[in-house]
Amino acid sequence: MPKTPDFQVVTANHLIEGDVIYQTATGWTRDLREAEVLDDEAHAQIRLMDAMHQHGSVVGAYLAEIKQGPDGPEPAHFREAFRARGPSNYHHGKQEAADHV
């Protein structure tokens, strides 16, 4: 039987813009550090079902394993780290904003 992750977040893509988004207690954010951290599998499944029923705003919702870092949640796997950084073909979106900070 697979081990249940200690911490998870609900992640998806914004339906219109395509950006990676994370579920918060009250909506969605593009910043993983603001995501609602879920440590109970039953609660995580309820939050995931809620996200999956938001057909008009999100697509591809799933639970992603995270770890707690000094500044909040951080990706636990390469795929999630890649998604959190933003597009990889050229700097736009999150990466463009970071270049001007």
E strand spans, the chain: 8-14, 20-23, 28-29, 58-69, 72-75
pLDDT band for 95, please (50, 70, 90 cuts). Answer: low
Per-residue pLDDT at 92: 56
Residue 57 per-residue DSSP state: T
For 40-73, how does the pLDDT look when each residue is reduced to its tens digit (9 = 90+)? Answer: 999 999 999 999 999 999 999 999 999 998 988 9
Read off the pTM: 0.81
Identify the sign of the CA torsion 51, 83, 34, 45: positive
92 compared with 84, residue with greater pLDDT: 84
pLDDT exceeds 70 at position 90: no
Q: Where are the domains of the chain?
A: 8-99
Q: How many residues are present in the chain?
A: 101
